[in-house]
C-alpha cells in the first residue's frame, strides 16, 4: 500500500462485513472495541472518514464516544444512493438481458436498477467501493 510507504506511522486494519468463506481477518461492522484496540493515538490532529453515510455516522459516533473532538473528524461524502423505483407517467419499463462475461451468467433486468445491484442479486462478484459510481472501482466495459 502506497500510504504505508510514504507515512511511517500509517496503519490500517481491514474488517469485512460480508466476507467470503476464505477470509481470516476481522469481520462485522466497525465497533468501539475494534477502534479502541487498534487506535494508538486518539490525540491525533485529524481523523478522516470516507464511505457510505451509515458507516461515517457510526465511525463519527464511535470517535466522539472515545473522546475525539468533533472538529478533528473530517469526512468525504459521495452523496446518497437514492434512485426512484416508481415509474414515471408514460414510461414503459422494458426488460433487458445482461450477460456477465466472466461468470457467463445471463440475467434479466428492468430499468431503474444498477449493474452492481443486478450482479449482487445473481451472485456475480464485482469489485466496488462507493456504490455511487464515483470512485471508479466498479468501472467496467459495457458491450
CATH number of the CATH domain containing 35: 3.40.50.80
99 in a domain, yes or no?
yes
96 in a domain, yes or no?
yes
3 in a domain, yes or no?
no
The reported pLDDT for the residue numbered 63 is: 93
Rounded Cα distance, 131 and 53, in Å: 11
**Last residue in a domain, options 53, 76, 99:** 76
92 in a domain, yes or no?
yes
96 and 70 co-located in one domain: no
108 in a domain, yes or no?
yes
Residues spanned by the domain of 27: 11-76
| Residue 99, φ and ψ in degrees, nearest 5 | -110, 120
39 in a domain, yes or no?
yes
pLDDT tens by residue, 107-122? 888 777 788 888 888 8
DSSP state of 88: P
How many domains, the chain? 2
The reported pLDDT for the residue numbered 84 is: 45
105 in a domain, yes or no?
yes
99 and 128 co-located in one domain: yes
| Residue 15, φ and ψ in degrees, nearest 5 | -135, 115
- Closest of 37, 15, 33, 32 to residue 24, by C-alpha: 15
pLDDT below 70 — which residues of the chain?
1, 77-95, 132-134
Amino acid at each position: 500500500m502506497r500510504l504505508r510507504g510514504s507515512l511511517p506511522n500509517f496503519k490500517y486494519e481491514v474488517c469485512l462485513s460480508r466476507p467470503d468463506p476464505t477470509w481470516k481477518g476481522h469481520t462485522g461492522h466497525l465497533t468501539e472495541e475494534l477502534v479502541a484496540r487498534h487506535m494508538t493515538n486518539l490525540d491525533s490532529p485529524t481523523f478522516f472518514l470516507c464511505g457510505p453515510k451509515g458507516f461515517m455516522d457510526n465511525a463519527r459516533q464511535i470517535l466522539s464516544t472515545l473522546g475525539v473532538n468533533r472538529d478533528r473528524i473530517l469526512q468525504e461524502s459521495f452523496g446518497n444512493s437514492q434512485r426512484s423505483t416508481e415509474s414515471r407517467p408514460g414510461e414503459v419499463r422494458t426488460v433487458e438481458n445482461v450477460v456477465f462475461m466472466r461468470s457467463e451468467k445471463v440475467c434479466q433486468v428492468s430499468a431503474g436498477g444498477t449493474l452492481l445491484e443486478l450482479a449482487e442479486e445473481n451472485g456475480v462478484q464485482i469489485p466496488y467501493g462507493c456504490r455511487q459510481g464515483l470512485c471508479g472501482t466498479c468501472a467496467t466495459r459495457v458491450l
